[in-house]
A and B are shown apart, each in its own frame.
Chain A
Amino acid sequence: MSTKILSQKFYDAIKKLETRYPTRVAMLLPALHLAQEETSWLPPEVMEEVGACLGIHPAQVKEVASFYTMYNLKPVGKYHLKICTNVACALRGAEGLVKHCEKKFDMKCGETSRDKKFTVVEEECLGACGTAPAMMMNDDYHENLDVQKLDRLLESLK
């Protein structure tokens, strides 16, 4: 087989999970999370490698990876901003946050900034409605946002 892309850490983690599930394919969602932590998105070669590790057809990996929104099947920027625009956040001004990002990075929502640093997408309810508007950036939640707070955060990351 071609050279491996994923690290030994990935394979060790899979080994540890084996005792927790009765089938290998049940480890597919955790495996894709672990892979994406290393490669930031899931190109076909990485999905093939995950498939080979679990003993399943690569098409099986793709059908699962493409079903869930958290698996990136296209490259994303260093900072992946997911701004919730569902009911509670919409009611508390989420659209303003999205428009601010579009203006700031001169792009449409769903795209990546020219310097490849920021990807901004609209997101569904994140379960932080009591502290709306909220967004997820990479692994972290940012809540009780307004345009100023968001802008200060983005400036600090530029």
Chain B
Amino acid sequence: MPKCVIDGKEVEFTPGQNMIEVAAKAGIEIPYFCYHPGLSVVAQCRMCTVEIEKMPKLQTACSTAVAEGMVIKTKSEKVIKNQKSVMEFLLINHPLDCPICDKSGECDLQDFSFKYGDSNSRYTEERRTYMDLDMGPVIKKSMNRCIHCTRCIRFGEEIAHIHEMVATRRGNNTEITTIDGRPLETDYAGNYADICPTGSLTLKDFRFKKRVWYLKKTPTICEGCSKGCSMEVHQDNNVIARCLPRVNMEVNRHWLCDEGRFNYHYVGDKKRVKEPAIVGHSNPTASSSPSINPVANVNKTDWGSAIDAAKTVLAGKKVTVLIGSDLTQEEAKLLQDFVPATFSGASMFHFGTPGIKSVADDASADNILKRKSKTSNLNGMEKLGLKGFDSMPAGTEAVLVVRGGRAVLPDLKGLPAIGLGVFNESAAVRFKAILPGTAFAEKDGTILNHDNREQKLKRAVLPPGQSKALTEILMMWKNRKADNKSGATGAA
């Protein structure tokens, strides 16, 4: 492997590797704004300049090919003066918004100003300001904070394949915007906030929610589709604040689609059924019109009563069990043991996305990341031998639905049904009883993406209320005697 010298240290590198990455691997930080490993190199911010022997001018590290024997200095006097100068230039028009800016705490401008800038500015002229046009529901634009790194423009062109984020005018007046206040069209708009090195582009969804230094980060996998993008859940006090992509060069590289990014909302939804419940139907009064639907009530109860209610509905009947393909391999295997032992002659199917009955129906939905199967473990379910749900088998007398938060409920044909897993109130009314389970962010587990890649979900937040893991629920079912006395929860 060829070698170069950085700050007196001999460093090996792979030909073609970016100088910034070569230095980083050797533990040497070269600051930068416009460079991004997932985007083309433009060498515009001029922050990453280094001194290279035999070259009279400072060179930008991001755009200079490393050569065998090259001697590079990242902390020479010239380099340090230039870093201070670039920071001064960037800050002359940048508003002191840190106290109200969401990016604070994870802001490249803050971090590099602190490390490489000067604590004084000599600027006394009037600051340049912009009027902010709206950009749609995902991204909040604060153009005054922009440092014109053009990462967002390059992302739109190179990754999202839509030339909608552009620079207008030129020179000091350059504005970076969609045109005429049009909303962003791409389904990958959330990434604009990830790549922006300042608080110029931020997520409306995260606005003013939480200071980032309070967030605890858990690496997991997105459950939005069968791509299985690597993701991080950020939470504080068991409330998920946001989800960000995790770098995985083999699956999603640096990106996440908006559907996956914002999928987490249902986990903390107020209308989610978090307690065991029995669904009651009050009868319409004699005087009311027959066209009014009977009102259903989701009545909270204790675990014992809910399980009893469920047993009443299912015991001794011909049961069809629908297993959501948003569940993990471990959960599926538990059910494959539990169902035949508990319901004789029961059929089991996996379900998830309308129209996608098997892996053969799954395919890319766009040429970026998204796939047609809107659950993450379709492939895993099939590998376990489960068949996709098509229509209710003849003679079905009752249905048990087990799912997480993504699998779309099929038509239950008015059959008495029990729901085990994640439901909100409007879905709960289709069942006789609800046994609240865990969502993807509340459990560990294994899922298999479309590519046969085994990946791990990791628990980021505790299950809310009385919701329990599947293994606990099934154990309670097995141990529950027809005892109406106590609200026994998981007694052996």
B163 touches A62 (CB 8 A): no
Sort A-B residue pairs by CB-CB distance and give the 9 closest, nearest first. A63-B166, A66-B168, A57-B163, A59-B166, A59-B179, A62-B179, A60-B163, A66-B169, A59-B164
Residues in A neighbouring B162, C-beta threshold 8 A: 57
B178 within 8 A of A: yes
Taken together as a complex, chains A and B put the C-alpha atoms of A44 and B168 apart, in Å, by 14
Give the Cβ gap from B388 to chain A, nearest Cβ, in Å.
39
Residues on A facing B (Cβ under 8 Å): 44, 56-60, 62-63, 66-67
Complex alpha-carbon distance, A63 and B170, angstroms: 9
Complex: A80 Cα to B308 Cα, angstroms: 86
B168 in contact with A62 (CB, 8 Å): yes
Specify which of A44, A57, A58, A63 is in contact with B167 (CB 8 Å cutoff): A63
Name which of A44, A56, A66 has the most chain B CB atoms within 10 A of its CB. A66
Q: Is the beta-carbon distance between B170 and A58 smaller than 8 angstroms?
A: no
Q: Roughly how many angstroms separate A79 CA and B165 CA in the complex, as a whole number?
A: 34
In the bound complex, what is the Cα–Cα distance between A60 and B182 (angstroms)? Answer: 13
Chain B residues, Cβ within 8 Å of A60: 163, 166
Collect the chain A residues with CB atoms within 8 Å of residue B165's CB.
59
Within 8 Å of chain A (Cβ to Cβ): is B180? yes
Cα distance, A61 to B165, chains bound together (Å): 12
Q: Is B170 within 8 A of A67, CB to CB? A: yes
Smallest beta-carbon distance B180→chain A, Å: 6
The answer for the CA separation of A85 and B163 in the assembled complex, in Å, is: 37
Residue pair A57, B169 in contact (C-beta under 8 Å): no
- Pair A58/B169 contact, Cβ less than 8 Å: no
Known: A44-B180, A58-B179. A63 touches B168 (CB 8 A): yes
**In chain A, what residue has the closest Cβ to B156?**
A59
User: Could you give 25 example pairs across A and B, Cβ below 8 Å?
Assistant: A44-B179, A44-B180, A57-B162, A57-B163, A57-B164, A58-B179, A59-B164, A59-B165, A59-B166, A59-B178, A59-B179, A59-B182, A60-B163, A60-B166, A62-B166, A62-B168, A62-B179, A63-B166, A63-B167, A63-B168, A66-B168, A66-B169, A67-B168, A67-B169, A67-B170
Total A-B contacts with CB atoms under 8 angstroms apart: 28
Q: Interface size for chain B: under 10, 10 to 19, 20 to 34, or 35 or more residues?
A: 10 to 19
Report the minimum CB–CB distance from B46 to chain A (whole Å). 21
Q: Chain A contacts of B169 at CB under 8 A?
A: 66-67
Main secondary structure of the interface of B (DSSP, over half): loop
- Provide the residues of chain A in CB contact with B182, threshold 8 Å: 59
**Is A59 within 8 A of B170, CB to CB?**
no
In the complex, what residues of B have CB within 8 A of residue A62's CB? Answer: 166, 168, 179
State which residues 133-187 of B face A: CB under 8 Å.
Answer: 162-170, 178-180, 182
When C-beta atoms are compared, the residue in chain A nearest to B164 turns out to be: A59
Q: Most chain-A Cβ atoms within 10 A of its Cβ — which of B165, B168, B170, B178?
A: B168
Rounded to whole angstroms, the CA-CA distance of A67 and B166 in the bound complex is: 11
Shortest Cβ distance from A30 into chain B, in angstroms? 20
* Closest Cβ–Cβ distance, residue B207 to chain A (whole Å): 25
Q: How far is the CA of A67 from the CA of B175 in the complex (A)?
A: 11
> CA A59 – CA B176 in complex, angstroms?
11
Q: Knowing that A44-B180, A57-B162, A59-B166 touch, tell me 6 more A-B residue pairs with CB under 8 angstroms.
A: A60-B163, A60-B166, A62-B166, A63-B166, A63-B168, A67-B170
CA of A68 to CA of B242, assembled, Å: 41
Report the nearest A residue to B168, measured CB to CB: A66
- In the complex formed, the residue of A with least CB distance to B176 is A63
**Separation in Å of the B483 CB from the closest CB of chain A?**
67
- Residues in B neighbouring A58, C-beta threshold 8 A: 179
* A57 to B164 Cα, complex, angstroms: 7
Min Cβ gap A9→B in Å is 27
Contacts of B179 in A (CB 8 A): 44, 58-59, 62
CB distance from B2 to the nearest CB of A (A): 37
Minimum Cβ distance to chain B for residue A38 (Å): 22
Task: Tell me the minimal C-beta distance from B95 to chain A in angstroms.
Answer: 24
Question: What is the CB-to-nearest-CB distance from B355 to chain A, in angstroms, rounded to a whole number?
Answer: 31
How far in angstroms is the closest Cβ of chain B from A41? 16
CB distance from B130 to the nearest CB of A (A): 14
Question: Which of the residues B163, B178, B180 comes within 8 Å of A56, measured between beta carbons?
Answer: B163
Cα distance A48–B166 when bound, in Å? 15
For A57, the closest partner residue in chain B by CB is B163
Nearest chain B CB to A57's CB is how many angstroms away? 4
Inter-chain contacts of A59 with B (CB < 8 A): 163-166, 178-179, 182
Residues of B within 8 A of A63 (CB): 166-168
Inter-chain CA distance A57–B180, complex, in Å, is 13
- Shortest CB-to-CB span from B279 to chain A, Å, is 50
Residues of B within 8 A of A44 (CB): 179-180
A120 to B163, alpha carbons, bound, how many Å? 34
Residues of A within 8 A of B164 (CB): 57, 59
Distance from B62 Cβ to chain A, minimum over Cβ atoms (Å): 23
CB distance from B82 to the nearest CB of A (A): 28
- Residue among B168, B170, B178, B179 having the largest count of chain A Cβ atoms under 10 Å: B179
Which chain B residues border A67 with CB–CB below 8 Å? 168-170
